[in-house]
Structure 1
Amino acid sequence: MTNPTAHDLIARSNRLGADPKNTNYAGGNTSAKGTETDPVTGEPVELLWVKGSGGDLGTLTESGLAVLRLDRMRALVDVYPGVDREDEMVAAFDYCLHGKGGAAPSIDTAMHGLVDAAHVDHLHPDSGIAIATSSDGEELTAKIFGPKVVWVPWRRPGFQLGLDIAAIKAANPEAIGCILGGHGITAWGDTSDEAEANSLWIIDTAQAYIDAHGKAEPFGSVRAGFEALPADERREKAAALAATIRGIASHDKPMVGHFTDDARVLEFLASSKAPELAALGTSCPDHFLRTKVKPMLLDVPSNASVEASLTRLKELHETYRADYTAYYEKYATPDSPAMRGADPLIVLVPGVGMFSFGANKQTARVAGEFYLNAINVMRGAEALSTYAPISDAEKFRIEYWALEEAKLQRMPKPKTHAGRIALVTGAASGIGKAIATRLAAEGACVVVADLDLAKAQAAAAELGGTDVAIGIAANVADAAAVQTAVDDAVLAFGGLDLVVNNAGLSLSKPLLETTEADWDLQHDVMAKGSFLVSKAAARVLIDQQLGGDIIYISSKNSVFAGPNNIAYSATKADQAHQVRLLAVELGEHGVRVNGINPDGVVRGSGIFASGWGANRAKTYGIAEDDLGKFYAQRTILKREVLPENIANAVIALTGPELQLTTGLHIPVDSGVAAAFLR
């Protein structure tokens, strides 16, 4: 059962973390001190509960707390070797832990343990960081808060910062907290409610002062020609640029993307100060660890053509990489970790919006949220003073901190399809749904496309939140609808890596009963539809320059001549040859095209449920419920083919093991000799 002190701490943390004005996602930490009975001695022991490394205040639970013996933690003061070796203190925290389980102590543990207060909050509010990054932040702190809040000059998080804040609190009995230069705020209280109230007072007081005394146009005047485009034009241009921008961000390592045209981003990009402020980069360590030290800003007007914008983006990328490499080489020491990549994580396009990138969708989205935090910070600092972030030298010390590198090395090995973006057509049921499910399970971001939007969204929701999958409507027989679906995919996740042409339907009729409309419908959905999807997707894959995969779910009927099936089998043969044709054409771009030939997949199939199953059962003279068993018995292996079997083949063809395979059709039919490929 949760200790009452820890219970109150979690509740306070969740309240503070739920409001973005208080702190960014996974930013800051909170703590509480209290007493519990030592299970070994039976005596009371003073403990510190503190949010552990890597957690988020808004979603904090008991397992996210580190619990330390306060006497042992404070005894570290006597063995502290000084700032040159303070990283060693993080490892020492492990020897202060109490009980079983819990999170790993973070670098900020000292701040919480050494400050003589029962409850401590360390947060990254935009209003507080605005004061912390103002060129006259110390003077502003005194003017805004008086003796209640004390200025602490910038110091990298660690044991010494904890000592500094403890000394400041001891020397300033009236103080309820402090502004940490370039970084954020820390507040304290004798009770949990008091600490929370003090934190909110600092945040709200800072914002009220900015609102009352700040300049009306902190970013300067609007740059003519850089204003926001109308919404439809923004979306169209964003979709046209997205693939190339993702390729830019993924030059060193494949990235997933996120796009936003938030009004605050567009306002910033339209302002006269945007170029100089963007060049200064972010300041709060939580911000630039997610956004890199600075963004890449496109410097052409909003109404510049897509072609001109793309040309300039590629030029700016070369400059960005050179600048970042120079930054690394200037500040790196012999024991610095290797450079992690020189590509931007934030790309700003005036009139259009912001593209942000990360190893997965959540990281990409959060990077964008952090840069929006940075814009808010710059707005507040420029409203009152001049924005003055910490130096590049200090940014490098944190970005390439040995402790940060160790955290990255502890990350679990990525799944086979992590960082890949997949579009699956006909994915609301049957084979398509099984493929989408398996791709998501292997780490891919999935766009579930289906003619029925409600079913597509429901299927996507089963895979997780929108950081994992989205559902969209897609009539694959309509070129405009297909292009819209591909645009939706690239704006949702940054681009495309993997396309599965699965949408299909079938009408089981003999030749003389097959109408022209029957023929056209099936060819429009499967032959024409897969052509349209592959064409629209290929543009993205080529622009990204990251290679990719196109998979066709064809059929054993593409090579096997069965009765009463002229239209369906003919269009499946068309799809089968598209595989070979596109494998040859797209190979120079690193795009592999392969096909899968299933036999009758009855379970969960929308095709079979819509009448195809009844017709095929009538053809074979069996009950419809026995169709799966019938198909199984006519195979070599005598096993029914399930949607999951097709999904397994997709994973094999698009995973890391078959990188040199293209133009291949894999039978997944339990062995149908008549459908053997020759």
Structure 2
Amino acid sequence: MTKTLAADRLENLWDDGRAAAMSESEKLLYRSNLLGSDKRVTNYGGGNTSAKVMETDPLTGEAVEVLWVKGSGGDIGSMGMDGFATLYMDRLRALKGRYRGLAHEDEMVGYLPHCTFGLNPRAASIDTPLHAYVPRRHVDHVHSDAIIAIAASVNSRALTAEIFGDDIGWLPWKKPGYELGLWLEKFATQNPQARGCVLESHGLFTWADDAKDCYLTTLEVINTAAEWLARRSAGKPVFGGVARPTLEPAQRREIAARLMPAIRGLISKDRHKVGHFDDQPAVLDFVGSQMLETLAPMGTSCPDHFLRTKIRPLVVDFDPARPDPDATIAGLARAAEDYRADYATYYDRCKHPDSPALRDPNAVVWLVPGVGMITFALDKATARISGEFYVNAINVMRGASAVSTYQGLPEQEAFDIEYWLLEEAKLQRMPKPKSLAGRVALVTGGAGGIGAATAERFLREGACVMLADIDQDALAGARQGLAARHGADAVRCVQMNVTDEHQVARAYAEMAVEFGGIDILVSNAGIASSAPVEDTSLAMWNKNMDILSTGYFLVSREAFRTFRTQDIGGAVIFVASKNGLAASPNASAYCTAKAAEIHLARCLALEGAEAGIRVNVVNPDAVLRGSRIWQGDWLDQRASTYGTDKEGLEEMYRQRSMLKRSVLPEDIAEAAYFLASDLSAKSTGNILNVDAGNVQAFTR
């Protein structure tokens, strides 16, 4: 990650030793990754970088000039070499002859594939002309908060001149595209002394003829702006001063946990959404400030911001001086409806005859005074990134309002970017959502074989998963492995004893803050014991009943409470056992508790049906591999009961089954996925045996 100097300035991280062995295109990637590693330079997916490099033409063998530029949809902080589009510069220059003027500039995007060098499949972005026509070999475009604070001020041109003189120029607002590329070329040609240009309400372009020089120029310009802002705003109250108190951290999370499932239910009627909570200092300064009601409705300025946040947030009616979450929750439905109506009016006011249809009108950003910011999107990563973009917008508003007057992008300009036909085409190219996209699952016993396999299956289908287990070390290991394969955004864990109702409630509160609520409960926590009835102690009996019956009740009760708050249905899957239907010798406590678990599921299926809550059971048998239950005493006891040793027990179970097959954790996970997904949308109160066939466990 990018380190910082004193006073929070960006540090030069360029390593001459590393760069010495790099080609020009590799230096471009190196520069890009360094710049993109700090959100104060540019936000995730924002900005782009380029280099004009001499390459060998694969057809003629001659040296040709090729533009390497970040491709469409990439992120300069995390991209690799395959993230760049490559285009012949002579063909890009020839495109000028095809340009028919501003009214037709969008058609120029269709010509870019004809300029591709090297059969590169990476699509070129709309910003390609802005890099191609600047008469310098290396170009950076970033969305630094410090720069945009100046660019979004009403007198941004005068401020730019005051700060940078003739070194950095200024261009008025213009939607990104071919025309802006020609503007930038004209400026750079007519001002050869300039090292870059501020684009009003947008961001910064810098350039040089050397990769390192370009990188250093970008850092220098951003640091100069940040230092100037710091001097000019020193001693001034942030956002006009404090208007509302900030609650303590634990209370903020408690309020967020109450609000997020209610909000999630209101905005997930058509497609499930996932939430993210942020209460960092910058957010708290804004939501508690005198200027909240003035600045929030003005909207964001940078196009990269409002494409992910919508142009305006929703400010929740909450008074941290007299917290009343029940009253706030009671008012959320009206607030959400008013926001949707306002958004639809904005659409009707600004739409063109060929505009795409109205998109989801729900708020993305919810600001809660004294508490923080809540964001919702179709997946966790997007919800988090949307929040990060709004933090960028907060930083911009903070800087601009301290030294000048902040201005958002004009409404029609914002609409024309949000509903840009080129942006719509990009959305239409996105892959079809996975079957559990937007769903949130809690898996108890999540560190064991069945729990981890179930989490893996859900994550592959796009769900977010909260792993719960009593074993902290095993839990951390399971999360680490799943996050490595599926990304850290989608996996959380919480230590929980299912027999402790306070721990259960806390786990659900954590899940609400981390993801916004719950859609799927897989109740899988378990133990097993084996003893003749005369040797079964009361403690053994109670432990089985506590974990396998009471524990399942407690986690289900809390799930039902959240399901009803959200009012978007839900799915509960109990991982029971063949022994809940078929008696087994020397296991009366275990078998009885499992039978109680199955009957609890039937009762819950009756209660939940009217609310769209489905409750079903998976009945495994003899899942030995990866199971912590089949370790230690239980394994020894069952081997003794059946007169075999540890090595022979799995073979004995396989031969005992009708199908003569072993049952694996992945088999149970597949059954849980079926019962959690819409594949079983019309099934509740069912028992699905996954036991390789056992006639005694037949349900009829």
Question: Which residue of structure 1 aligns with residue 502 of structure 2?
Answer: 480
Write the letter of the residue equivalent to 2:423.
E
1:392 equivalent to 2:414? Answer: no
Deviation at 1:299, TM superposition (A): 2.6
Write the distance in 1 (CA, Å) between the matches of 2:534 and 2:120: 72
Write the distance in 1 (CA, Å) between the matches of 2:101 and 2:563: 52
Residues 337, 400 of structure 1: 8 Å contact kept: yes
Work out which of the residue numbers 641, 658, 665 in structure 2 matches 1:619: 641
1:221 equivalent to 2:221? Answer: no
Deviation at 1:572, TM superposition (A): 0.6
Question: Which residue of structure 2 aligns with residue 590 of structure 1?
Answer: 612
Deviation at 1:662, TM superposition (A): 0.8
Report the 3-state secondary structure (helix = DSSP H, G, I; strand = E; otherwise coil) of the residue aligned with 1:86. helix
1:158 equivalent to 2:177? Answer: yes
Map residues 414-433 of structure 1 onto 2, 5 A cutoff: 414-433=433-452
Unaligned runs of 5+ in 1: none
Write the distance in 2 (CA, Å) between the matches of 1:351 and 1:466: 28
1:536 equivalent to 2:555? Answer: no
Question: Which residue of structure 1 aligns with residue 156 of structure 2?
Answer: 137
Which deviates more from structure 2 when the two are superposed, residues 67-76 or residues 333-342?
333-342
1:491 equivalent to 2:513? Answer: yes
Question: Which residue of structure 2 aligns with residue 368 of structure 1?
Answer: 387
Question: Which residue of structure 2 aligns with residue 60 of structure 1?
Answer: 79
1:561 equivalent to 2:583? Answer: yes
Write the distance in 1 (CA, Å) between the matches of 2:517 and 2:635: 37
Residues 219, 382 of structure 1: 8 Å contact kept: yes
Deviation at 1:471, TM superposition (A): 2.1
1:25 equivalent to 2:7? Answer: no
Question: Which residue of structure 2 aligns with residue 88 of structure 1?
Answer: 107
Deviation at 1:667, TM superposition (A): 0.7
Question: Which residue of structure 1 aligns with residue 61 of structure 2?
Answer: 42
Report the 3-state secondary structure (helix = DSSP H, G, I; strand = E; otherwise coil) of the residue aligned with 1:58. coil
Residues 272, 437 of structure 2: 8 Å contact kept: no
TM-score normalised by structure 1 residue count: 0.98
Question: Which residue of structure 1 aligns with residue 195 of structure 2?
Answer: 176
Residues 149, 396 of structure 2: 8 Å contact kept: yes
Work out which of the residue numbers 221, 245, 249 in structure 2 matches 1:231: 249
Write the distance in 1 (CA, Å) between the matches of 2:396 and 2:358: 28
Q: State the identity as a percent.
A: 47
Write the distance in 2 (CA, Å) between the matches of 1:357 and 1:85: 36
Map residues 10-409 of structure 1 onto 2, 5 A cutoff: 10-214=29-233, 216-223=236-243, 226-302=244-320, 303-409=322-428
Deviations 1:394-451 (A, max 9, x none): 1111111111111111111222112111110001121111111111111111111111
Write the distance in 1 (CA, Å) between the matches of 2:569 and 2:104: 45
Write the letter of the residue equivalent to 1:19.
D
Map residues 629-644 of structure 1 onto 2, 5 A cutoff: 629-644=651-666
Deviations 1:468-494 (A, max 9, x none): 212221110100111111111121112
Write the letter of the residue equivalent to 1:267.
D
Write the distance in 2 (CA, Å) between the matches of 1:251 and 1:506: 41
Write the distance in 1 (CA, Å) between the matches of 2:475 and 2:119: 44
Write the letter of the residue equivalent to 2:505.
Q
Map residues 514-533 of structure 1 onto 2, 5 A cutoff: 514-533=536-555
Write the letter of the residue equivalent to 1:67.
T
Report the 3-state secondary structure (helix = DSSP H, G, I; strand = E; otherwise coil) of the residue aligned with 1:394. helix
Write the distance in 2 (CA, Å) between the matches of 1:329 and 1:294: 16
Question: Which residue of structure 2 aligns with residue 449 of structure 1?
Answer: 468
Question: Which residue of structure 1 aligns with residue 594 of structure 2?
Answer: 572
Question: Which residue of structure 2 aligns with residue 605 of structure 1?
Answer: 627
Which deviates more from structure 2 when the two are superposed, residues 232-241 or residues 48-57?
232-241
Report the 3-state secondary structure (helix = DSSP H, G, I; strand = E; otherwise coil) of the residue aligned with 2:50. strand
Report the 3-state secondary structure (helix = DSSP H, G, I; strand = E; otherwise coil) of the residue aligned with 1:40. coil
Write the distance in 2 (CA, Å) between the matches of 1:73 and 1:3: 26
Deviations 1:109-154 (A, max 9, x none): 0000011111111100001111111011111111111111111111
Q: Relative to 1, partners in 2 of residues 1:250 and 1:276: Cα closer, same or farther, differing over 3 Å?
A: farther
Deviation at 1:180, TM superposition (A): 0.6
Deviations 1:556-595 (A, max 9, x none): 1111111111111111111101111111111222111111
Write the distance in 1 (CA, Å) between the matches of 2:473 and 2:596: 30
Write the distance in 1 (CA, Å) between the matches of 2:690 and 2:621: 7
Work out which of the residue numbers 528, 542, 546 in structure 2 matches 1:506: 528
Write the letter of the residue equivalent to 2:197.
C
Write the letter of the residue equivalent to 2:333.
K
TM-score normalised by structure 2 residue count: 0.95
Deviations 1:462-521 (A, max 9, x none): 112321212221110100111111111121112111110000001111111111100111
Write the distance in 1 (CA, Å) between the matches of 2:389 and 2:555: 35
Deviations 1:145-200 (A, max 9, x none): 11111111111100000000110111112211111111111111111112112211
Report the 3-state secondary structure (helix = DSSP H, G, I; strand = E; otherwise coil) of the residue aligned with 1:156. coil
Q: CA RMSD in A?
A: 1.3
Aligned length: 675
Stretches of 4+ aligned residues off by more than 4 angstroms: none
Work out which of the residue numbers 550, 560, 572 in structure 1 matches 2:572: 550
Write the distance in 2 (CA, Å) between the matches of 1:406 and 1:544: 33
Write the distance in 2 (CA, Å) between the matches of 1:415 and 1:426: 25
Write the letter of the residue equivalent to 1:610.
G
Work out which of the residue numbers 24, 37, 44 in structure 2 matches 1:5: 24
Deviation at 1:218, TM superposition (A): 4.1
Deviation at 1:229, TM superposition (A): 0.6
Residues 457, 470 of structure 1: 8 Å contact kept: no
Write the distance in 2 (CA, Å) between the matches of 1:527 and 1:352: 37
Deviations 1:294-339 (A, max 9, x none): 1111132113211011022222111101100101111112211111
1:471 equivalent to 2:493? Answer: yes
Write the distance in 1 (CA, Å) between the matches of 2:180 and 2:363: 31
Write the distance in 2 (CA, Å) between the matches of 1:384 and 1:62: 40
Report the 3-state secondary structure (helix = DSSP H, G, I; strand = E; otherwise coil) of the residue aligned with 1:59. coil
Report the 3-state secondary structure (helix = DSSP H, G, I; strand = E; otherwise coil) of the residue aligned with 1:608. coil
Deviation at 1:608, TM superposition (A): 0.9
